[in-house]
Each structure stands twice: as C-alpha cells, then as structure tokens.
C-alpha cells in the first residue's frame, strides 16, 4: 500500500494500535487518518462510516470528542483487516 502519512497521521495510527488502549484519541484525528485510505462520511443518523476497498463500516455516533474503548478496538480491527498497521507502513 503506497499511502503517504505525515507525522500527525503516524502519531494517530500509533495511538490506535497502542497498548493499553489510549483514552485520548480524537475523532477528528482518526477521520483524517482514515481519509488517507478511503472515504469517511457522517450518515444521516450521526454515525461515522468509512469505506475502504468497497467495504463500509460504521463506527457509531460521536457524542464525545474522543473515541470510546470499543470504537478504538473497532477502528484497530478495521485497519488490520486492510493490512494497515504501523509495522506495515513503516516498511513501505
């Protein structure tokens, strides 16, 4: 995958894959990161949906500024399913 990430994108990716789960990952930062790989839009019900390689996943509403633990795990699994990890992108 040949996607250019700036320093901010790499920091956000590191937070998403960090252990233990990081509790201050902002939706804005995650949306900016996901836009590098696909399409991000807010649905009419207030959910955030991401489409990468024809697969669309909804991550639920963003009532708070930061992602919940469950949302971090869902974003992490979504990225892994598309072979997007800090290790893979570091090599590329």
Among 84, 38, 33, residue whose Cα is nearest residue 57: 38
Question: CA–CA separation, 36 vs 65, rounded Å?
Answer: 21
The domain locations on the chain are 7-91
Question: CA–CA separation, 84 vs 30, rounded Å?
Answer: 13
Among 36, 35, 18, 16, residue whose Cα is nearest residue 26: 16
53 CB-side CA count, 13 A: 7
User: How far is the CA of 76 from the CAs of 24, 59, 61, in angstroms?
Assistant: 15, 11, 17
> Could you list the pLDDT tens digit for every one of the 92 residues in the chain?
567 788 999 999 999 999 999 888 998 999 999 999 899 988 888 788 899 888 888 887 776 788 889 989 999 999 999 888 887 665 44
């Amino acid at each position: 995958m040949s996607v250019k990430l700036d320093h901010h994108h790499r920091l956000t990716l590191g937070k998403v894959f960090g252990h233990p789960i990081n509790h201050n990952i902002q939706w804005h930062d995650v949306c900016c990161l996901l836009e590098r790989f696909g399409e991000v839009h807010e649905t009419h019900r207030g959910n955030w949906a991401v489409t990468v390689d024809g697969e669309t996943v909804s991550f639920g509403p963003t009532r708070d500024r930061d992602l919940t633990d469950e949302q971090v795990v869902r974003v992490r699994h979504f990225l892994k399913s598309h072979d997007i990890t800090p290790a893979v992108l570091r090599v590329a």
